[in-house]
Amino acid sequence: MRSLISRSLALSAALCLGGCATTSQTAPPPEAPAPQAPQQEQAQAPAQPQAPATVPTVPLHRPAPMQLVVQANPASPIVSFRLVFHAGSVDDPKGKEGLTALTADVLSEGGTRNLTSAQLLEALFPMAAELNASTDKELTVFSGRVHKDHLARFLDIFTDVLLAPRLSPQEFERLRARALSDVRNGLRSENDEMLGKVALDALLYQGHPYAHFVGGTEKGLESITLEDVKAHAARVFTQDRLVIGLAGPVDEALQKTVVSRLSALPATGAPRVELPPVPTTAGRALVVQKPTLSTAVSLGYVTPLRRGDPDFFPVSFALSYLGEHRQSSGVLFGELREKRGLNYGDYAYAEHFIEQPGTTYNRTNIARTQQDITVWIRPVVPGNGMFATRGALYFLDRLVKQGIPQDQFELRRGFLLGYSRLWEQTDQRRLGYAIDSLLYGTPDFLEQYRAALAKMTPESVQAAVRRQIRPEALNFAFVTQDADGLAKLLKEQPPSPISYASPKPPELLSEDKAIISLPLPIRADAVQVVPAQTFMEK
């Protein structure tokens, strides 16, 4: 019912780190100040404002309680439901990290008053229906999908998951054990790539409610009881936190039925969590020691840039050019993988990215008050870890200083005008974008993006990039076997030459000379080594 990869992850204290909504009437959020600091630029480049000391808190919009987002399509035989609660891991009480995600799992998978967990699956199977739950930092989604011929039966089950959950002690223990296994075994032994993201999250949001793993910590999950789950559901899965999305053959009667049934939820619950500003501390590196044959690298920084900011679309365009997720056309992919054979893939993101399982697209409804710009270097041979990291920085810096050549600019624009259509190819994704538009105050978000693409120029994109992309602000996370050895290299930063099994053109070798000694913006006194076995302990 859920995917570990669909969750955003962060380290625990063991690291020693402290479509549009048809009913939206809200205005776009206030423009956040641009985080800028001058990079070593060409002499004629204009000076940039100093970067802020913190990324401020500009809350997401707050829709009306149980606001409806309807995308009716009478010709479709499939009815889609999307219930989005403004409740996530930020709502986890201290010492019970993972409570929101576990509560969503117990509700969606633990059965209803009339159906055991096994009977719930048996009922959904012949209908070919889907019922899922997922939790992120600030939002939890309950989604459903069914053929209209089975709508009445499915609607009973879908609403009972929230209104009449079984809350079986046996199912609670099963699901809590699974969550603990995800913490103890899944990431610690299986997914180096995700561990890098975990470490980076912890660095960027140290001391912030975003810092802990959405799925919880070991000690937090051990402390959670079934009574905690019952109480937490009443606190955070409430009418005033809920947006209701419906798509497909949806008529007035169905809308009224869904709203009427969900009116049985508590009207209000716990106050919303007030998120603090995030310090823009740069130059840190966290090296996670783990038995592994490769090195995973993640780098990034927290930014006030988010959807609704005038610079968001051009920066998204530029970072797509640098490295669109799981696409081979990006600069980083071409330079690091194709030309130099370093690794699997290299990608860049203008906002926090979590892959929608089974796709190459970002998950919807992971809207966040505070965002981060990141680059992922998919696992490399350990001996090339320093070179690959320097290479990513080299091409990021080149993007800032030189911009995008006209011919490449036109190719990227054509790609995104088409590729962005795929992001909204299902009812669930269209509903997701529409609900995100409510929260960010960005109606017709994808249409706005395509309209902005048509008007962009290489000069306008580079101007936005220079305002928002700051290589000197980066923080770095690594997962590798010889953590102490890598930490020493990061502190001392000796040249990192690379050898090739086949001849390379002179221009590439000349470029390598600039890369192998490129200074990384890492402070020698800000490099930490942490053993993987202590991850997310408490």
Per-residue pLDDT tens digits for 327-361: 999 999 999 999 999 999 999 999 999 999 999 99
Q: What is the pLDDT of residues 144-173, one digit of tens each?
A: 999 999 999 999 999 999 999 999 999 999
Q: Specify whether 72 is located in the same domain as 192.
A: yes
CA 346, 349, 352, 353 torsion-angle sign: negative
Q: How many CA atoms lie within 13 A of 418 on its CB side?
A: 5
Q: Specify whether 235 is located in the same domain as 286.
A: no
Q: Which of 19-23, 174-178, 466-470, 531-535 has the lowest mean pLDDT?
A: 19-23
Instruction: Give the integer Cα–Cα distance in Å for 50 and 36.
Output: 5
Q: How far is CA 410 from CA 27, 349, 407, 446, in A?
A: 32, 20, 5, 19
Q: What is the pLDDT of residues 386-434, one digit of tens each?
A: 999 999 999 999 999 999 999 999 999 999 999 999 999 999 999 999 9
The per-residue pLDDT for 349 is 98
48 pLDDT band (50/70/90 cuts)?
Answer: low
Residue type at 386 in one-letter notation: M
Q: What is the pLDDT of residues 436-458, one digit of tens each?
A: 999 999 999 999 999 999 999 99
Instruction: Give the integer Cα–Cα distance in Å for 477 and 466.
Output: 24
Q: What's the alpha-carbon Rg for the chain, to the nearest Å? A: 23
Q: Specify whether 317 is located in the same domain as 438.
A: yes
Instruction: Give the integer Cα–Cα distance in Å for 57 and 159.
Output: 34
- Phi, psi (5° rounding) for residue 304? -75, -10
Q: Specify whether 194 is located in the same domain as 292.
A: no
Q: Hey, how many other C-beta atoms are within 10 angstroms of the C-beta on 507?
A: 8
In this structure, what CATH number is given to the domain that contains residue 233? 3.30.830.10
Q: What is the pLDDT of residues 50-105, one digit of tens each?
A: 677 899 999 999 999 999 999 999 999 999 999 999 999 999 999 999 999 999 99
Asked if residue 7 belongs to a domain, the reply is no
Asked if residue 267 belongs to a domain, the reply is no
Q: Specify whether 113 is located in the same domain as 206.
A: yes
Q: What is the pLDDT of residues 266-323, one digit of tens each?
A: 999 999 999 999 999 999 999 999 999 999 999 999 999 999 999 999 999 999 999 9
Domain ranges, residue 165:
67-262
Q: Which residue has the tokens 């690291």?
A: 15
Mean pLDDT, the chain, integer:
91
User: Domain ends where: 227, 262, 297?
Assistant: 262
25 pLDDT band (50/70/90 cuts)?
Answer: very low
Q: What is the 8-class DSSP label of residue 136?
A: -
The per-residue pLDDT for 53 is 87
Q: Does 34 have pLDDT greater than 80?
A: no
Q: Specify whether 503 is located in the same domain as 357.
A: yes
- Token code pair at residue 69: 């987002």
Asked if residue 189 belongs to a domain, the reply is yes
Q: Specify whether 255 is located in the same domain as 286.
A: no
User: SS3 of 381, please?
Assistant: coil
535 pLDDT band (50/70/90 cuts)?
Answer: confident
- Token code pair at residue 456: 């962009």
Instruction: Give the integer Cα–Cα distance in Å for 513 and 9.
Output: 36
Q: Which residues contact 377 (CB under 8 A, 6 or more apart)?
A: 296, 297, 298, 299, 332, 336, 343, 346, 388, 389, 392
User: SS3 of 297, please?
Assistant: strand
The per-residue pLDDT for 487 is 98
> What's the domain count of the chain?
2
49 pLDDT band (50/70/90 cuts)?
Answer: low
Strand order in the sheet with 242-248: 67-72, 242-248, 78-85, 140-147, 130-135
| Cα angle, residue 446 at apex, residues 440 and 447 outer, rounded to 5° | 115
Q: Does 32 have pLDDT greater than 70?
A: no
Contact 21, 247 (CB under 8 A): no
The per-residue pLDDT for 196 is 87
Q: How many CA atoms lie within 13 A of 157 on its CB side?
A: 28
The per-residue pLDDT for 11 is 36
Q: How many CA atoms lie within 13 A of 113 on its CB side?
A: 6
- Token code pair at residue 185: 């075994």
537 pLDDT band (50/70/90 cuts)?
Answer: confident
Q: Specify whether 335 is located in the same domain as 454.
A: yes
- Phi, psi (5° rounding) for residue 21? -75, 130
Asked if residue 31 belongs to a domain, the reply is no
Q: Specify whether 304 is located in the same domain as 239.
A: no
Instruction: Give the integer Cα–Cα distance in Å for 70 and 75.
Output: 15
10 pLDDT band (50/70/90 cuts)?
Answer: very low
Q: Specify whether 206 is located in the same domain as 308.
A: no
The per-residue pLDDT for 27 is 34
The per-residue pLDDT for 188 is 80
- Phi, psi (5° rounding) for residue 343? -165, -170
Asked if residue 12 belongs to a domain, the reply is no
Instruction: Give the integer Cα–Cα distance in Å for 495 and 513.
Output: 9
Cβ-count burial 215-228 (b if 16+ within 10 Å, e if not): bbbbbbbebbebeb
- Residues recorded for the chain: 538
Q: Specify whether 223 is located in the same domain as 309.
A: no
Instruction: Give the integer Cα–Cα distance in Å for 199 and 197.
Output: 5
The per-residue pLDDT for 52 is 73
H/E element, 396? helix 385-402
Q: Specify whether 98 is located in the same domain as 179.
A: yes
Residues forming a β-bridge with 147: 78
Residues forming a β-bridge with 244: 68, 83
Instruction: Give the integer Cα–Cα distance in Å for 208 and 431.
Output: 30
Asked if residue 42 belongs to a domain, the reply is no
Calculate the dihedral angle through the C-alpha atoms of 433, 434, 439, 441, rounding to the nearest 10 degrees.
110
Contact 352, 374 (CB under 8 A): yes
Asked if residue 313 belongs to a domain, the reply is yes
Q: What is the pLDDT of residues 171-217, one digit of tens each?
A: 999 999 999 999 888 878 888 888 889 889 989 999 999 999 999 99
Q: How far is CA 352 from CA 9, 204, 475, in A?
A: 11, 12, 15
Work out the percent of the chain whose per-residue pLDDT is above 70: 90
Q: Hey, how many other C-beta atoms are within 10 angstroms of the C-beta on 463?
A: 15
Asked if residue 273 belongs to a domain, the reply is no
Instruction: Give the integer Cα–Cα distance in Å for 61 and 407.
Output: 39
User: Domain ends where: 262, 290, 314?
Assistant: 262
Contact 538, 14 (CB under 8 A): yes
